[in-house]
């Protein structure tokens, strides 16, 4: 088995047309325009990721649309709505927005006013609670990669903005534990400032019907781990999350095994992660390793990181440099990064591939005529 390092990127998202809110339609009009708040609200439901008449899950193309069979894009949306697009269009015009123009051809860009998507999820205790961020996830047999984007203005999403202002790229590492509640108590006892334990759940489609994905997350207060949003979580419904149909990847990746973080003071960072994980640190050339039950945390100096991966611009310290993935076929991994037009090179018993800058990604999309990311 071989492994491949991917340097991943995170981007914000501000694409659509207002505030979506799940409430009983009988209590509210289908489209609610609030000129004072400058919002257009529409009732919505989470769309199934796989339709029963299709044999696969398709990439997300649109935020919202009609449900099947009326909606011809029902297999490529995040939420379903039961309104005509013209009604939403009228609502936006009431706010003073002018119609834009779609892109035509490879060398043109779409024109029009910028609006934000806010998605609000009903709170079981009553009212609504904005999620703040959304994600697109690449599932592996062991672990997964989560690409975050902003969905609304919340304290958590403002922390997301602050992290991106420092640099684009990786900012989060979640450590799976058997009991997040117990880990939460241990972290507090070890002197970490912790936030309230978070219990989250969302509906998910499985091949046998509707199910629930449930998680418990132990989070630290900002600044406790300057390396990023470092947290622990317990998956309470693993069968709903790790579904066999999602685990086979074209690049043959099977497992997330390591995270590499560039730090200014290796000794101080190693002491923090030792206290956080409860595992001892071992010195390595130019850094330290905290070995876990599955994978590990590599802490490296700026000099060591620049020596080994000179193509990555380290703009600030600490800097989450990348993740290591185990793959079944190095040839398949090489073909995948070549197909995505990523820069890469041989790296010991694997390869290192850097995700493109925003400018390179925009150029590639214009050349390909495809609005979707190749990654």
Long-range contacts at 243-246 (CB < 8 A, ≥ 24 apart) = 243/139, 243/206, 243/207, 245/50, 245/56, 245/57, 245/207, 246/57, 246/139
Query: Rounded mean pLDDT of 308-324?
Result: 89
Distance CA 83, CA 98 (A): 20
Query: Rounded mean pLDDT of 284-305?
Result: 95
- Phi and psi at 45, nearest 5°, equal -130, 145
- Listed in sequence order, the DSSP H helices in the chain are 85-94, 155-166, 180-189, 238-241, 266-277, 302-308, 330-339, 358-368
Contacts of 194 (CB under 8 A, 6+ apart): 184, 187, 188, 218, 219, 220, 221
Kindly give the pairing relationship between strand 31-34 and strand 39-42: antiparallel
Query: Rounded mean pLDDT of 320-330?
Result: 93
Kindly tell me if the per-residue pLDDT of 175 is higher than 90: yes
Q: Check: CB of residue 233 under 8 Å from CB of residue 218.
A: yes
The more confident residue out of 23 and 236 is 236
Q: Check: CB of residue 262 under 8 Å from CB of residue 301.
A: yes
Query: Rounded mean pLDDT of 1-30?
Result: 37
Give the per-residue pLDDT at 359.
53
40 pLDDT band, cuts 50/70/90, is confident
Extents of the domains making up the chain: 2-11+133-173+249-368, 19-108
Q: Check: CB of residue 83 under 8 Å from CB of residue 31.
A: yes
Q: pLDDT tens, 67-102?
A: 888 888 888 988 888 888 888 888 888 888 888 888
The more confident residue out of 14 and 147 is 147
Q: What percent of the chain has pLDDT over 70?
A: 83
Give the per-residue pLDDT at 2.
39
User: Which range is most confident: 128-137, 197-206, 280-289?
Assistant: 280-289
Sign of the CA dihedral with 126 first, then 131, 136, and 141 last: negative
Q: Does a cis peptide bond (omega within 30 degrees of 0) precede residue 318? A: yes
Q: What is the mean pLDDT of the chain?
A: 82
The more confident residue out of 284 and 123 is 284
Q: Check: CB of residue 283 under 8 Å from CB of residue 272.
A: no
The more confident residue out of 263 and 122 is 263
Token pair 């999602």 is found at: 246
CATH fold group of domain 2-11+133-173+249-368: 2,3-Dihydroxybiphenyl 1,2-Dioxygenase; domain 1 (3.10.180)
Query: Rounded mean pLDDT of 161-177?
Result: 91
14 pLDDT band, cuts 50/70/90, is very low
Query: Rounded mean pLDDT of 204-232?
Result: 91
Give the per-residue pLDDT at 180.
94
Could you tell me the pTM of the whole model? Answer: 0.67
């Amino acid at each position: 088995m071989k492994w491949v390092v991917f340097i991943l990127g995170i981007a914000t998202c501000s694409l659509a047309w207002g505030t979506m809110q799940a409430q009983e339609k009988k209590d509210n009009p289908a489209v609610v325009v609030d000129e004072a708040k400058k919002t257009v609200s529409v009732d919505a439901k989470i769309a199934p990721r796989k339709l029963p008449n299709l044999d696969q899950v398709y990439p997300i193309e649109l935020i919202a649309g009609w449900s099947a069979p009326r909606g011809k894009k029902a297999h490529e949306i995040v939420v379903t709505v039961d309104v005509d697009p013209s009604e939403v269009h009228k609502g936006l015009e009431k706010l003073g927005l002018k119609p834009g123009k779609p892109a035509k051809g490879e060398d043109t860009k779409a024109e029009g006013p910028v609006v934000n998507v806010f998605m609000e999820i009903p709170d079981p205790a009553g009212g609504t609670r904005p999620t703040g961020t959304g994600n697109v996830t690449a599932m592996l047999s062991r672990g997964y990669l989560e690409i975050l984007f902003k969905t609304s203005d919340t304290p958590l999403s403002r922390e997301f903005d602050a992290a991106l202002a420092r640099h684009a790229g990786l900012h989060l590492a979640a450590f799976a534990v058997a009991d997040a509640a117990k880990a939460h108590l241990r972290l507090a006892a070890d002197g970490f400032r912790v936030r309230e334990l978070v219990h989250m759940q969302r509906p998910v489609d499985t091949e046998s019907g509707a199910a629930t994905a449930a998680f418990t997350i132990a989070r630290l207060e900002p600044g406790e781990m300057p390396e990023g949003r470092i947290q622990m979580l317990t998956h309470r419904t693993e069968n709903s999350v790790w579904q066999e149909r999602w685990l086979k990847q074209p690049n043959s990746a099977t497992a997330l095994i390591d995270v590499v973080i560039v730090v200014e003071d290796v000794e101080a960072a190693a002491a923090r992660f030792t206290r956080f994980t409860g595992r001892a640190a071992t010195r390595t050339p130019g850094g330290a390793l905290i070995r876990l039950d599955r994978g590990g945390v590599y802490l490296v100096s700026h000099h060591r990181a620049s020596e080994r991966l000179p193509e990555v611009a380290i703009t600030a310290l600490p800097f989450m440099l990348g993740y290591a993935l185990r793959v079944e076929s190095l040839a398949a991994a090489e073909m995948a990064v070549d197909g995505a037009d990523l820069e890469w090179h041989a790296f010991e018993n694997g390869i290192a591939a850097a995700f493109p800058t925003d400018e390179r990604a925009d150029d590639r999309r214009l050349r390909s005529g495809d609005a979707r990311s190749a990654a």
